Amino acid sequence: CAGAEGGLGREPRRAPYRSPAAWVLRQLDDRFSLLRPDSVVLDLGCFPGGWSEVAIERSEASSSSSRVIGVDATRMDGLEYHTFLQGDVAHEETLRQILKTLGDRRADLVLSDLAPALVGLKSEDHLNSMQCCLQAARIMERTLKLGGLFVLKFQSGPEMTHLRAYLDSRFDTVRSIRPGAIRSTREMLFICKGFLGRQSIASEAKSKNVGKHEGVDQWHGELQWLRGQGLLDDE
C-alpha cells in the first residue's frame, strides 16, 4: 500500500498543493473540524504530500505546537513543519519508527490515504484496499490517543461491512461519506470520532457499540473474520 498520487480533485487548484487530493481533506476539515492547533497528525500513505500540506496549514503547525508526521514507502520531497518517515506500513520496523518519532505524545488524528496498486478488477481492487485499511488500523490502534479521530479512505465493496463493525467497536461514532471532491464512484471514507481504546475480545461482544450495529451473534462472526486478517489476537 502506498499514498494515492492525486487525481481525486474536481475543484480548481486555488492553492499550490502537491496533489488535487488535498481538496478532499479540505472538504472533510470544513465539515468535521478535524484539524486543530496544538495537535499531532499522523498521515499514512502521505506521498506526494497533498494531505500533509493541508494538515500543516489547518493545524497551524508553523505557529503552534502541532506536529505533522507523514509515512510512505515512496520518498517524497521535504515539507516545512513536517516529519517524513520512509517505510512500508505493513512492517513492524515502520511502526517502531512512528512510535519513536511520537515520543511521549500520541496522535490526535490518524489519516489514511493508503491505496493499493489498482489492477482494474473491482473485486480484487476492493480486497486489496481492505488490506490497506487493516494495515492502517493496526497502526492507529498503537498511535491514536483516547478520544482521537481516524479518517480512512477505501474502495467500497462487500467486505466494508466487516471493517465498519470493527470501527464501531473502537469509536463513539463512525460515518461513511463520499465527498464531492472524490472523482471515483468506488472510493469512500470512514470518519471515526472518539477513539475508545482496545478492549479485550471477550468484552467486545458486550459493548454498547456492538449492540447498536450488528448484534452479539453477528459480532462473533466479525471477530472471527478480523482474527483471520491478523488484526485481532486473543489478548
Known catalytic residues are 153
Helix (H) or strand (E) holding 3: strand 2-3
Task: Name the grid cell of 148.
Answer: 482521537
String of DSSP letters for 24-82:
HHHHHHHHH----SS-EEEEET-TTSHHHHHHHHHTTTTTSS-EEEEEESS-----TT-
Pairwise CA distance, residues 205 & 218, whole Å: 9
Q: What distance lies between CA 217 and its chain's CA centroid?
A: 28
Pairwise CA distance, residues 128 & 141, whole Å: 20
Asked if residues 45 and 32 have their Cβ atoms less than 8 Å apart, the reply is no
Quickly count helices (H) and strands (E) in the chain: 8, 9
Of residues 159, 172, 175, 173, the one with CA closest to residue 226: 159
Beta-carbon contacts of 89 under 8 Å, excluding residues fewer than 6 positions away, are 1, 44, 45, 71, 73, 95, 114, 132, 135, 136, 139
